[in-house]
Structure 1
Amino acid sequence: MMKVRPKPKDAVWTDEQWQAIDAKGNNILVAAAAGSGKTAVLVERIIRKIVDPDDEAEVDRLLIVTFTNAAAAEMRNRIGEAINKEIQKQPGSLHLRRQLSLLNRAHISTLHSFCMNVIRKYYYKVNIDPKFRILDDTEGELMREEIIEDIFEEEYGIEGNSSFYKLVDMYSGDRSDDALRSLVRRLYDFSRSHPSPEYWLDQMAARYDISDAERVEDLPWTPELLQDIQSQLRGAQSWIEKALQVTHEPGGPHPYGENFSEDLEKISSLLQADNWAELYDKFQTFTYGKLKTIRKTEGVLDELKEQAKSLRERAKKQTQELKEGLFSRPPEVFLKDVKTMAPSIRYLVKLVKEFSSRYQEAKREKAWLIFLILSISVLLF
Structure 2
Amino acid sequence: MAAFTDAQTDAINAQGGSVLVSAAAGSGKTTVLIERIIRMITRRENPIDVDRLLIVTFTRAAASEMKERLAKAINSLLENDPYNSLLLRQRQLMYNTSICTIDSFCGSVVREYFHILGVQKDFRLADENEIKVIGSEALESVLEDFYRENTPDFTALVDAFANKNGDDNLRAAVLKISDFLATQPFGDKWLDDMLLKYSPEIPVEQSLFGKILIKYARSMVDHSLLITINSIKLLDGDEKLRDANLPLLLDDKAYFEKLSERFEDGSWDEIKRFAETFVKGRLKTPKGYKDDPIKISIANSRDDVKKSVESICNIFMWSSEEIKNEIGYLSKTVAELFEVVKAYLSKFSEMKYAKNILSFSDVELLTV
TM-score by length of 1: 0.67
Report the equivalent of 1:207: 197
Pairs within 5 Å for 1:224-235: 225=212, 229=216
Letter in 2 for 1:183: A
Counterpart Cα distance in 1 of 2:332 and 2:74: 62
Once the two structures are TM-superposed, the CA of residue 141 in structure 1 deviates from its matched residue by 0.2
Which whole-Å deviations, capped at 9, do the CAs of 1:79-107 have from their partners, x for residues lacking one?
12222232234333122123223323211
Pairs within 5 Å for 1:11-26: 12-15=4-7, 17-26=8-17
Please give the root-mean-square deviation of Cα atoms over the aligned residues, in Å: 3.9
State yes or no: 1:154 paired with 2:154.
no
Counterpart Cα distance in 2 of 1:73 and 1:340: 56
Counterpart Cα distance in 2 of 1:280 and 1:59: 66
Once the two structures are TM-superposed, the CA of residue 281 in structure 1 deviates from its matched residue by 8.3
Cα gap change, 1:362 to 1:168, in 2 (>3 Å): same
Please give the secondary structure, in 2, of the residue aligned with 1:91.
Answer: coil
Counterpart Cα distance in 1 of 2:199 and 2:14: 45
State yes or no: 1:91 paired with 2:79.
no
Cα gap change, 1:69 to 1:361, in 2 (>3 Å): same
Report the equivalent of 1:198: 188
Letter in 1 for 2:343: E
Gaps in structure 2 of 5+ consecutive residues? 224-251, 279-303
Cα gap change, 1:78 to 1:365, in 2 (>3 Å): same
Please give the secondary structure, in 2, of the residue aligned with 1:343.
Answer: helix
Once the two structures are TM-superposed, the CA of residue 226 in structure 1 deviates from its matched residue by 6.1
Report the equivalent of 1:178: 168
Which whole-Å deviations, capped at 9, do the CAs of 1:40-91 have from their partners, x for residues lacking one?
2222211111111112221112111112111111211221222223223433
* Residue in structure 2 matching 1:65, options 53, 56, 68: 56
Which whole-Å deviations, capped at 9, do the CAs of 1:334-366 have from their partners, x for residues lacking one?
443223211111111111111111111111111
Please give the secondary structure, in 1, of the residue aligned with 2:360.
Answer: coil
Cα gap change, 1:52 to 1:273, in 2 (>3 Å): same
Please give the secondary structure, in 1, of the residue aligned with 2:100.
Answer: strand
Please give the secondary structure, in 1, of the residue aligned with 2:352.
Answer: helix
* Residue in structure 1 matching 2:205, options 196, 199, 217: 217
Cα gap change, 1:344 to 1:122, in 2 (>3 Å): same
Q: Compare CA radii of gyration and give the structure with the larger one.
A: 2
Counterpart Cα distance in 1 of 2:360 and 2:146: 29
Counterpart Cα distance in 1 of 2:198 and 2:215: 19
Once the two structures are TM-superposed, the CA of residue 329 in structure 1 deviates from its matched residue by 5.0
- On the 8 A contact 2:142/2:347 being kept in 1, the answer is no
- On the 8 A contact 1:66/1:110 being kept in 2, the answer is yes
Letter in 2 for 1:61: R
Report the equivalent of 1:6: none
- On the 8 A contact 2:54/2:98 being kept in 1, the answer is yes
Once the two structures are TM-superposed, the CA of residue 179 in structure 1 deviates from its matched residue by 2.1
Cα gap change, 1:125 to 1:174, in 2 (>3 Å): same
Query: Whose relative contact order is higher, 1 or 2, with alpha carbons under 8 Å and at least 6 apart?
Result: 2
Once the two structures are TM-superposed, the CA of residue 142 in structure 1 deviates from its matched residue by 0.5
Once the two structures are TM-superposed, the CA of residue 30 in structure 1 deviates from its matched residue by 1.0
State yes or no: 1:122 paired with 2:110.
no
Counterpart Cα distance in 1 of 2:215 and 2:82: 58
Name the structure where helix makes up a greater proportion of residues: 2
TM-score by length of 2: 0.69
- On the 8 A contact 1:123/1:129 being kept in 2, the answer is yes
Which whole-Å deviations, capped at 9, do the CAs of 1:199-228 have from their partners, x for residues lacking one?
332222222122x34x421325644x3697
State yes or no: 1:110 paired with 2:101.
yes
Counterpart Cα distance in 2 of 1:40 and 1:179: 50
- On the 8 A contact 2:195/2:331 being kept in 1, the answer is yes
Please give the secondary structure, in 1, of the residue aligned with 2:4.
Answer: coil
More displaced stretch, 332-341 vs 69-78: 332-341
- On the 8 A contact 2:126/2:357 being kept in 1, the answer is yes
Cα gap change, 1:360 to 1:64, in 2 (>3 Å): same
- On the 8 A contact 2:213/2:315 being kept in 1, the answer is no
Letter in 2 for 1:13: T
